A and B are shown apart, each in its own frame.
Chain A
């Protein structure tokens, strides 16, 4: 008779070592511990759990990476998910974290070379999930910004809300993300193009948008905790002084409108 820990380890291995592989992958010693009763043999009973295990986790990955799954098609996504789960069994009580390593896993796969942008797209999908349930916060309002005295601006440290990420990609993933949703759209072969996106949540809705070099430069300084004067100086390193002044004004308005700046500490 197996000790409980050994029994549980062998049961888990039977489910997780080769997800979706069926009874041939079950631990023979574990099969002997299971009763064959009525119309179902022991291995058939274990297989009910094995199928549930893979179906549930596959479903989670398909939901979390729906556009990647769509582009791959059912069979290829199924194969990739099985391999991913065999290498990355869940280590967290919540399924929320299951796909954390999936973008990096895709990056290493040689058998999806025909879709070289897939890992980048997976990174965007994961970033959207991350901001979906990031901590709540109160966004900065325009009235608050207008109440700041001129002499306070140079040392002002703007902060983004917690539900905000900047993601960098080698492909125009925002276009691929949209194309994967719009099946009727005529698709030309995507071309690599360095792309930076901001991903954020406004209320309970998640958005992403491409940002240009000046906006990225400004965000880099804000995310580094630099004061407003440094943000402006950074902009002046990529724009003329006149353009920089106009740009920071319009950026501030856009960020306020999108709700991505956090309320300033009292």
Chain B
């Protein structure tokens, strides 16, 4: 089975700092990814901006609070709001993270890592099925950056996410920067990670910058993509083929053109890799 999402090209995350460009009509990009929770509101400026973005380019909704790995039941009120947002803005697809962020009804507002265990697979698969059944569509799940691992994990992360995607029949949002960050923090091989991801499940790729804290890498999304991450992106393109790609920039956000230039670089590298692949296969 595969994930059925369209190819949208190379987009950027929709951020408040660039809202004026939407009003000016100069925010030109292949597609936008909006953080779902920022628009789960009754009205006002953010929703007006989202209307503008949706009119300007295809839109994807990317959530941070579904808490797919939580032992709490999926929040039905949240799902209803998400469903209403989907019906209003008709995103090309919907994604969230393979992690947990709530327990006992309390929210950490963070993407907390799961142990890579059979129990966590069962919980995540059940929650993803609930979400997909309610929304009536497949979702994409994203690998997160992590700073800790658990003593009772029984498999590598790539096996964990691939197994969940297969059992839940969902797609994967492959965050190449997150693979790089976690590989450094937990000393695994990022190349092996990408090679073990089932290409047909990958519906989107994320790229972003991060910070080097000396003893660990921190997923800050506050700068340009670094060369080793671009190299991993090339590998992901060779492995998965043509996949919609998005640049995230969430802190110290520069001018719209700077973020779009990163998306354009991704477009160039993708073209190069696909051309090489065609040349090899010809």
Q: Which A residues fall within an 8 A CB radius of B? A: 1-5, 7-9, 11-12, 15-16, 32-35, 37-40, 42, 44-46, 48-49, 52-53, 56-57, 89-96, 132-137, 162-163, 201, 204
Contacts and interface: CB of A to CB of B under 8 A. Distances in A.
B186 interface: yes
A39 B104 CA distance: 33
Nearest to B71: A5
A57 B186 contact: no
A93 B108 CA distance: 9
B46 interface: yes
A48 B182 CA distance: 14
Contacts of A132: 44-45
Interface stretch (B117-125, B130-138, B198-206, B228-236): B117-125
A89 B148 contact: no
A94 B112 CA distance: 16
Contacts of B41: 94, 96, 133
B65 interface: yes
Given A40-B215, A90-B109, A93-B37, A7 B43 contact: no
Contacts, number: 131
Given A5-B71, A8-B71, A93 B147 contact: no
Contacts of A48: 147-148, 216, 218
Interface stretch (B7-15, B149-157, B169-177, B237-245): B149-157
B75 interface: yes
A12 B109 contact: no
A239 B215 CA distance: 72
Nearest to B75: A93
Nearest to A90: B107
A93 B110 contact: no
13 contacts: A1-B151, A2-B152, A33-B150, A33-B152, A34-B151, A40-B147, A45-B148, A91-B105, A93-B65, A94-B37, A95-B109, A96-B41, A204-B44
Contact of B149 (A11, A37, A90, A92): A37
Contacts of B112: 8, 11, 49
A8 B100 contact: yes
Contacts of B66: 93
A49 B150 contact: no
B115 A4 contact: yes
Nearest to B123: A4
A153 to B, nearest CB: 30
A57 B158 CA distance: 31
A152 B276 CA distance: 77
Nearest to B67: A93
A163 B48 CA distance: 15
A16 B186 contact: no
Given A11-B112, A94-B37, A5 B103 contact: yes
B149 A34 contact: yes
B210 to A, nearest CB: 13
A49 B120 CA distance: 20
Interface in B43-68: 43-48, 65-67
B71 A32 contact: no
Interface string B206-222: 00000000011010000
Given A52-B110, A162-B43, A33 B151 contact: yes
Contacts of B37: 93-96
A32 B151 CA distance: 8
The 7 lowest CB-CB distance pairs between A and B, nearest first, are A93-B65, A204-B45, A136-B43, A45-B148, A133-B41, A5-B71, A133-B44
A8 B149 contact: no
B44 A201 contact: yes
Interface string B90-108: 0000000000101111111
A33 B152 CA distance: 7
B277 to A, nearest CB: 36
A5 B40 CA distance: 28
Nearest to A40: B215
